[in-house]
Structure 1
């Protein structure tokens, strides 16, 4: 992926920081070359030590969709283990630009103001965790 590409928010505005955008460009530039007909890209960030017993950093999935010569945010989803007897990996947070909502697993859909505030906090933490090398990253191209 070339550094001259842009990522926009498609009309649903959350406080996306320059450090978060740069993190995405860094992850994409470290991936194998993107096929020219790519329609979307999914980035998966995983803590290899994360488990229901030990905890760790939640897995995160970020999807971008092609828009002209750049990209648009589709969604950011943060997963976590839920349950004690038979824990399952479930969506904890879901930020969707294309569907225009912010969802938190215990509260449901949030207002725009609540969503912006939560996203800002989540993003700050995620960038810090990434800078600490908490994640391994995989990139999948959709043609």
Structure 2
């Protein structure tokens, strides 16, 4: 049987006024149980759980609107 494990999520956003650049806004490493936000740095466990819950909730809501094209592949 094939199994998979979600290890890492990176969310990018454009930041900057005159010449915005694409940067890592949120990094979630499930294996290390660490969450990073570009404005706050590495978050403590409570803050990390709260941000991850909000991130997942928002992702699901956007997905339900049909705005994402999702492709699942195996490597």
Q: Same fold (TM over 0.5)?
A: yes
CA drift at 1:84? 1.4
Which structure has the greater CA radius of gyration?
1
CA drift at 1:136? 1.9
Give the match for residue 127 of structure 1: 60
Equivalent residue in structure 1 for 2:22, among 89, 94, 103:
89
Alignment of 1:5-16 (within 5 A): none
Residue by residue over 1:62-116, the C-alpha shift from the partner in whole angstroms, topping out at 9 and shown as x without a partner, is xxxxxx7322121111110011121111111111112331001100000111111
Alignment root-mean-square deviation, CA: 1.6
Higher strand fraction: Structure 1 or Structure 2? 1
Bigger RCO (CA 8 Å, 6+ sep): 1
For 1:80 and 1:122, locate their aligned partners in 2 and report how far apart those are by CA, in whole Å: 13
For 2:51 and 2:64, locate their aligned partners in 1 and report how far apart those are by CA, in whole Å: 20
Residue by residue over 1:19-39, the C-alpha shift from the partner in whole angstroms, topping out at 9 and shown as x without a partner, is xxxxxxxxxxxxxxxxxxxxx
TM-score (norm 2): 0.86
Alignment of 1:1-143 (within 5 A): 69-142=2-75
TM-score (norm 1): 0.48
**Number of matched residues?**
75
